[in-house]
Amino acid sequence: MTTAIAEAPAQQISKTVMYTRAFAGLFRRDLHVLRRELFPFVIRVCMNPLLFLFVFTYVIPSMSGPGGSGSASAMNPTAAMAGNAFSTVLLPGLMAVAIMFSGIAAVALPLAVEFGSTREIDDRVMCPLPVAAVALEKIVFSAMQSVIAACIVYPLAYYVPAVHPSTHVNSWPFLIAVLILASLTSGALGLTIGTTVKPSQIGLIFGVVVIPITFLGCVYYPWAALTHIRWLQIGVLVNPIVYMSEGLRAALTPLPHMPEPLILLMLVVALSTLTWLGMKGFMRRVIG
């Protein structure tokens, strides 16, 4: 009896070690694939924010001439909140978009292939891991890509505009918490989309879901600027990218923003809800 009791913790430790090694093996496999596709990854991350920044924060202000700051402010009412620098408004929003797009692309698009006719997902779930842990690895790996994407976009959003944005880190722990929670949430959203939508319809989701939540995610304007459109200001609160944009805005800029505890709370709520939905869908698609 004593021997059996003593063996139980040892077996549990052995199983934990096995699961950790299997999880790390899946992570290294995905990392190897990412290294081979590093150039397409960087192009995908950079192209949209680079074009947006070039047109709206370099070309248009330059068209106004040296004394055109007033005209730029008139075209972008929210620029007045940042001392006529629309780039300050855009920087955290474009970082949030990069996080969201990278997270969704890193999970939803591969799942469309793996759940397709070839059922490549079966190879993954054969590793010595619980099925739910395979889904969790996808979220964690996509979160890493999202953090890298945010780090790539930041220098673009800072140096491309004709007028550099006004940035400073108010709290490093808060910034790190927002980056981690936002990146995990985007991966969880990608898992939810990838396990809910048919593989043949995954492209449609970007037009029907991803683009609308981006434009209504306080990316190109602070949430406080919606005061005069009260119904919209309340309606966008169901959008997780709002809290990503506002969290980065609070951490990096002097602009008005949501209360920081509320931002963290809603990111945790979004992460928990989307992870639960994604895990449930993943188990259904794999086992069912």
Name the nearest CA neighbour of 195 among 276, 271, 123: 276
- What is the mean pLDDT of the segment spanning 138-162? 88
* Residues 31, 40: Cα–Cα separation, whole Å: 14
Q: What are φ and ψ of residue 162, in 5° steps?
A: -65, -35
* pLDDT value at residue 43: 81
How many CB atoms are closer than 10 A to CB 176? 13
From CA 180, how far away is CA 174, in angstroms rounded?
Answer: 10
Q: State the pLDDT at residue 64.
A: 56
Average pLDDT on 157-163 reads 81
Please return the burial class of 256, using the count of CB atoms within 10 Å of its CB with bins 0-12, 13-18 and 19+: middle
d(CA 115, CA 284): 12
Q: 4: which residues sit within 8 A by CB, 6+ positions away?
A: none
User: What pLDDT is recorded for position 65?
Assistant: 53
Confidence (pLDDT) at 7: 52
Mean pLDDT of 246-273: 92
User: How would residue 246 be classed by pLDDT, with cut points 50, 70 and 90?
Assistant: very high
Q: What is the pLDDT of residue 178?
A: 95
Write out the chain in H/E/C secondary structure: CHHHHHHHHHHHHHHHHHHHHHHHHHHHHHHHHHHHCHHHHHHHHHHHHHHHHHHHHHHHHHHCCCCCHHHHHHHCHHHHHHCCCHHHHHHHHHHHHHHHHHHHHHHHHHHHHHCCCCCCHHHHHCCCCCHHHHHHHHHHHHHHHHHHHHHHHHHHHHHCCCCCCCCCCCCHHHHHHHHHHHHHHHHHHHHHHHHHCCHHHHHHHHHHHHHHHHHCCCCCCCHHHHCCCHHHHHHHHHCHHHHHHHHHHHHHCCCCCCCHHHHHHHHHHHHHHHHHHHHHHHHHHHHC
Percent above pLDDT 90 for the chain: 25
Work out the average pLDDT over 16-26.
Answer: 77
State the pTM of this model.
Answer: 0.84
The structure tokens 């913790």 sit at 9
pLDDT band with cut points at 50, 70 and 90 for residue 80: low
The whole-number average pLDDT for the span 135-160 is 89
Please report, for the chain, the start and end positions of each structural domain, with discontinuous segments joined by +: 2-64+76-287
d(Cα 262, Cα 275) in Å, to the nearest integer?
20
Query: Over 50: is that where the pLDDT of 36 sits?
Result: yes
Q: For residue 237, is pLDDT > 70?
A: yes
In angstroms, rounded to a whole number, what is the distance separating the alpha carbons of residues 172 and 179? 10
The mean pLDDT of the chain is 80
What pLDDT is stored for residue 72 in this prediction?
Answer: 45
Choice among 66-70, 128-132, 135-139, 253-257 with the minimum mean pLDDT: 66-70
pLDDT at residue number 274: 94
Give tens-digit pLDDT for 202-212. Answer: 777 777 777 88
What pLDDT was estimated at residue 76? 53
> 74 pLDDT exceeds 50?
no
> What pLDDT does residue 69 have?
44
Per-residue pLDDT band at 82 (split at 50, 70, 90): very low
The answer to whether residue 70 scores a pLDDT higher than 60 is no
What pLDDT sits at residue 187? 93
